[in-house]
A and B are shown apart, each in its own frame.
Chain A
Amino acid sequence: MDLTGGPFWFLMGVVFVVVASGFHVFARDRGWVVTWWKALLAVVWYAILSTSFFAWGTLIGENEASAGLKLFLIGLFISIVFGVALIRLMARPAR
């Protein structure tokens, strides 16, 4: 069975649903009001983080592990900065 094809993306879909549900509960517990654009930004953040991992894995497969690690670290850095900004934005009371 080719794990890099359909099953992989099926698994990614499952993970996304779990993460999104978790985020929903997390936001409700904290009393955040998640508007549609805040949710969109959260999806963008998740996409950046996931892509960093995907790029790393892809480049390892291409025998470019070092370049993959660098790209992953850059993506991780952007995700951390963006994530911190996003949390502060989420915690802001809605007008």
Chain B
Amino acid sequence: MNQPKSDRIFALGALILIAVVWIVSAARTQGDLMPVVRATIPKADHITKQDGDLYAAWAEPDEADLLARIAIGSADGYGGPLRMAVAVDPAGVVIGVVIADDKETPAWMGRVLDSGLLKSLIGKSYGDSLILGDDVDGVTGATYTARAMAQATAAGGRDAAAAFGHPVEEPGPPTIVFGPPEIVLILLFAIGFVGHQSRFPYTKQLRWLSMITGLIVIGFLYNSPVTIAYITKLVLGYWPAWQTNLYWYFLIGGILFVFTVDNKNPYCQWCCPFGAAQDCMGAIGGAKTRTPVRFQRLLIWLQRILTLAAILLGVWFRNPGVASYELFGTLFEVLGSSVQFAALGLVLIAALFIKRPWCNYLCPIRPVTDLIRLIRQMVKERWQQATQRTPAA
């Protein structure tokens, strides 16, 4: 299928705009950390900066009594690097923790803060591993954020303790996380691949099986659908450790791989949990595609502009969570504002009569997949032109 020239111009313009905003936002200077560092230990008389991300908190103006050392620890959160200011006393005990910088979605961050995780980190030793579910309680529905906070605290605690001269063991490489979500995802891609074959007679049944599995596993059990925040995160260069994020690499890599090889979208119509939820509503209400022909292009362009605006915002603030406007968490985690719940209700009720209203008019993933398809076609055309110009040997 040949895309109109306007699509190509828009795609090129969008990529250039994202690149420009990326460079400009990267050039912005980082905020001063001193207020955050001070907040870790309010009783300190004053704080002095030492090497790099290391600070010292003094009890008196004459700097005779060292209350604590404060280090900035960092770990991968859901939206990108999460940094914690960690104050450790001379005995190596954590006496204060404050979030220095985060890229998390506000709703998830709110859930973690409400859980009291920060308070539970106070009193831990620099030698504690701070593993969720082990020596720190996990937070249901915000695992990535909670894990990043605990790991960043552990890293900061080690750095601060090392400055006191405590023997610190550097942690080994992270353990590879490969479990049910990764296995289910691979199976869903395999099902999609089989179902896409033109000769396969049970495509419809297989698609429903895949959709329902995606709805239950990717949606309600793990709440891990593809989001614009994750795509913005990759654009920003926040590539998390593969060992603990195999699921995301499989998901994004699988989509790109199938698109490249097969030019088919293995996700949206086959295992997207929110799409499945809309399909279920559509099956109840007998939904049909109801886009008026004369508004079709306009609606597609509005969706693209909305997506571009979301990515640009995320890149500008260097915070992928800002870009996220999806309602996935509202449905699968029952978490969100009143506006989000109202929007979710409207989308689901509309899905009774209109086929996949969210996917067709609002979802930011569709423009992204359109872009992948466009780039694939442009590369293919260039390749064909190049091979035609080359004389046969």
Residues of A that sit less than 8 Å from B by CB: 73, 77, 80-81, 84-85, 88
Contacts and interface: CB of A to CB of B under 8 A. Distances in A.
Interface of B: 281, 284-286, 341, 345, 348-349, 352-353
A88 B285 CA distance: 7
A73 B345 contact: yes
A81 B286 CA distance: 12
A15 B145 CA distance: 52
7 contacts: A77-B348, A81-B281, A81-B285, A81-B348, A84-B284, A84-B285, A88-B286
A84 B352 contact: yes
Pairs A-B, 8 closest by C-beta atoms = A84-B285, A85-B284, A84-B352, A77-B345, A80-B349, A88-B286, A81-B284, A84-B284
Contacts of B285: 81, 84-85, 88
Contacts of A88: 284-286
Report whether over half of chain B's contact residues are helix, strand or loop; otherwise say mixed: helix
Nearest to B285: A84
Contacts of A84: 284-285, 352-353
Contacts of B352: 80-81, 84
A75 to B, nearest CB: 12
Report whether over half of chain A's contact residues are helix, strand or loop; otherwise say mixed: helix
Nearest to B344: A77
Contacts of A73: 341, 345
Nearest to B353: A84
A81 B352 CA distance: 8
Contacts of A77: 345, 348-349
Contacts of A80: 349, 352
A25 to B, nearest CB: 24
A77 B352 CA distance: 12
A28 B208 CA distance: 36
Nearest to A69: B338
A68 to B, nearest CB: 15
Contacts of B349: 77, 80-81
Nearest to A86: B284
A73 B344 CA distance: 12
B284 to A, nearest CB: 5
A77 B284 CA distance: 14
A85 B345 CA distance: 17
A85 B285 CA distance: 6
Given A77-B345, A80-B352, 8 more contacts: A77-B349, A81-B281, A81-B284, A81-B285, A81-B349, A81-B352, A84-B284, A88-B285
B285 to A, nearest CB: 5
Most interface-central of A73, A84, A88 (chain B CB within 10 A): A84
Nearest to B345: A77
A90 to B, nearest CB: 13
B355 to A, nearest CB: 14
Contacts of B281: 81
Contacts of B286: 88
A84 B341 CA distance: 21
A88 B284 CA distance: 8
A45 B291 CA distance: 31
Nearest to B349: A80
Nearest to A80: B349
B353 to A, nearest CB: 8
A84 B284 CA distance: 7
A62 B341 CA distance: 24
Nearest to B280: A81
A13 B7 CA distance: 62
Nearest to B287: A84
Contacts of A81: 281, 284-285, 348-349, 352
Nearest to A82: B284
A80 B348 CA distance: 10
A73 B284 CA distance: 20
